[in-house]
Every structure is written in structure tokens, then in C-alpha cells.
Amino acid sequence: MARDKTLIVGNWKMNLNMHEASLYVHQLSKVVKTHRDVEVVLAPTALTLQSLSLQVNFRQFKLAAQNFYWRDSGAYTGEISATQLRGIVQYALVGHSERRHVFHESDKDIRAKVQAAIRNHLIPILCVGETAFERSEDETQAVLHDQLIGGLANVTSDELEHIVIAYEPVWAIGTGQNALPVDVSHAIRAIRGQIKHLYGQKAADNMQVLYGGSVTADSAADYLALPDVDGLLIGGASLDAHAFSEIVKKAHKGSSLAK
């Protein structure tokens, strides 16, 4: 993805029912300003996606799926495909740590989902990151390497231009224990190094990479100031309209565009 816009993604996880989601979007639309240099993406539960797609102004908010199955259609009870999400969402999270660790998604599943998203013209936000144990064993770079190879195998350099990567250390997600900016920089440099190795310098320079893990309105600016960080993936703080709009405001560098 071109790095001309800072991406702020709110991952609501399994929170808010249809009524609450609609009210919340209504509230958010009043406080979140539209800026030319910021793309704001909301990832509500699948249940609310269709109604929110009719409610939101896509100039103000884009939508993302939190998850989907990699087949386009068929006998897969309980699943939703990227084909069915077309026209409703523009983005899709792939390989979020909760999918990897709670639902045991493998790199093979994640790779198939990246492919399915691309095939269906959705922008995959491929999440990578080490656990606390892997970090303590000094394996962060090796984990990032493996997850990138696993998720991006079969992706061509043209397709890579339509992918976003999110660095989310597992130990920082939902724990209030956010990573130090210097460590985030270090990890994202390793990610770009790997992209360079696989696709070349230009691809590495153009890769849009986000940070996620216990980001708050207070800490957001510290990450956004890092030249390697092109946006944020926000969980808990995205459920607070005030905090989320503050984060969007901090992501805005240029002049604001009237809604």
C-alpha cells in the first residue's frame, strides 16, 4: 500500500451488538474529523457489517472484516467468505493474534486467507508478532520472518502493493503493556528487511506497516512519530469515541478537510 495516508484501524473484536454498534458509529461520525492524510477503518463484528456499510459515509470510515474463511463459497457451515464481504468492506484483518492463538490458525490458513482477500479485491491487514515467551527467548526476528514467509508465500510483487502489515506483539495486546517505541521501530525494520529480501528495496520502502498493542490516546503520538510506523491498529481504545477520535486527530499531520 502507498504510505501517503496514515491508517487508523479500530478492531472492536466481539463487542457491541447491532443496536450498540449503530449508535456508536453515529456518535463516532460526530467526533471523528475527516482528514485527507488519514484513513479511518472500523472492524466491527461480522453481524453488524452489512448494516454499518449502509450507515457509514465511506469518505469518513472504511470497514474491515475481523475474519473470514478462505474458500469463496460452498459447504462450510458457519463461515463467511471474502466473496460475500465484497462491496461491504474494503479491508480484512488476517492472522490477528487471537485468531492464531485462540483459534489455532496456522500459517497455511493465513496464507490462504491473504490469497482470498486479494482475489476478492479486499486489502488484507496481515498481523504478525511474537508471544511473551518468544520475546524472552530473543526470537522476535525469527518469528516475524516465519510469519511473513508463511503469510506472503504466493503473493506477487504487484499484489504486495495491496497489502498492509500490522506488527502486533502478542504480549502487548489487551494487556496495557505497550511496546517501547524503540522496540517497535526495531521490529518494523526487521519486517521491512524481510520484505526487501523477498521483493526488493522499493517494495520494502512502500510497505505500509502499522503498530498495534495497547495503544491509547496518550501513547498514540509516540508511535505515529516513528518514521517506520504508518498507522495503528487499536483494540480497547477504539471502543471509546473520545479516545479514538483523539488518536485520529494525532494521526493527522496536514490541513483538515471539511466533512
Q: Which residues are catalytic?
A: 96, 168
In the complex, the smallest distance separating the C-beta of residue 179 from ligand PGA, rounded to whole angstroms, is 10
Burial bucket for residue 138 (CB in 10 Å: 0-12, 13-18, 19+): exposed
- Min dist. Cβ of residue 233 to ligand PGA (A): 4
Phi, psi of 253 (to 5 degrees): -105, -35
Residue with smaller CB distance to ligand PGA, 8 or 148: 8
Cell of 22: 449503530
Q: Which is nearer to ligand PGA, 148 or 173 (CB)?
A: 173
Give the footprint of ligand PGA on this chain (CB under 6 A).
11, 168, 173-174, 212-215, 233-237
| Min separation Cβ 104 and ligand PGA, Å | 17
Q: Which residue is nearest to ligand PGA (CB)?
A: 235
Closer CB to ligand PGA, residue 94 or residue 234?
A: 234
Closest CA to 11 of 34, 45, 35, 37: 45
Q: Which of 204, 201, 257, 196 is nearest to 228 (CA)?
A: 204
Shortest distance, CB of residue 235 to ligand PGA, whole angstroms? 2
Pick from 109, 107, 112, 117: nearest CA to 82 = 117
Of 255, 254, 256, 232, the closest CA to residue 244 belongs to 232
